[in-house]
Amino acid sequence: MIFASREPRRAATYARRYGGVGAYGSYAEALADPRAVAAVVCTPHDRHLADTTLALAAGKHVLVEKPIARTLAEADQMIARAAEAGRVLMVAEQFHFMPAFRRVTRELAAGRLGELREIHLVVRGLGAARGWRLSAEAVGGGALIDGGIHYVHNLRAWGGGIERVYALRPRQSIAAMEGEDAVVLLASLRGGAVGMLAHSLAAPRYPRLQWATLIGTQGTCFVDNRGRWVALRGSEGARLWLFPRDTRGYVAMLRTFLEAVVAGHAPAMDGVEGRRDLAVVLAAYRSLAEGRPVEPDGAS
């Protein structure tokens, strides 16, 4: 691995800690290293477009952190430039690769719950945003576009697509944070089911054990939000699955990216998929601003 940071000392520290073969104080210098084949862009959201463009122009494949960008226009530029360069653009949405969440997807596809009726995602805690995450301009919003987009992805993936969203937010608690610190999103899912996501960084003394619930006509599924277990009660009885390995999905995600680099295309979480998650978030922000349900742009 080759590490690069705008702070050279930080790049050198990471290279020593993780056995890197190079450390640079400039992204351009790191991308010019002939040993580099691909780039992992994990800079603040407002740099994703510029840093991804720089890597693509250097002929590198790109794994960019979620959200893919702050706006759909930025995302569209990134997707177009990756296509022009003939390089892979993949979004680092590890929730897509978490074993527990993949199990839920398989159980839904197998019809174990019958016809899906409801999805409830409740994610609350007390999190102190710091640094650039305090800036709505740098983040592109607040809690929903940052950590909340993980659960937006699950809602969209499990629900088969999101047709319309309506969002509300409580009074702000984290004064230093320019973006919202909490939001509740209601969604009309493709096929007629209803989804709800409650995401908050301002819930003191809330228990760490939290789970999502999926309700169908023939059963109910519970899944730990941290990906450690899935429980299902359906017409065929009750099942419990435990997931002690690669719980967060990072190994599977990185393996998929490496396979995509070899194959020349991303089989999962490409730029278009990342754009769809972003479209739901931005529709929720429009709903907050306009006080009405909003249809996401190309989220299905």
Instruction: Fill in the DSSP letter of residue 145.
Output: I
Please tell me the distance from the alpha carbon of residue 278 to that of residue 91, in angstroms, as a whole number: 11
Please tell me the distance from the alpha carbon of residue 114 to that of residue 104, in angstroms, as a whole number: 13
Task: Say which residue the tokens 């839904």 belong to.
Answer: 108
Report, as residue numbers or ranges, the catalytic residues. Answer: 66
| DSSP code per residue over 176-230 | T-SS-SEEEEEEEETTS-EEEEEEESB-TT--S--EEEEEESS-EEEEETTSSEE
Please tell me the distance from the alpha carbon of residue 63 to that of residue 94, in angstroms, as a whole number: 11
Please tell me the distance from the alpha carbon of residue 222 to that of residue 214, in angstroms, as a whole number: 7
Please tell me the distance from the alpha carbon of residue 223 to that of residue 101, in angstroms, as a whole number: 8
Amino acid at 255: R
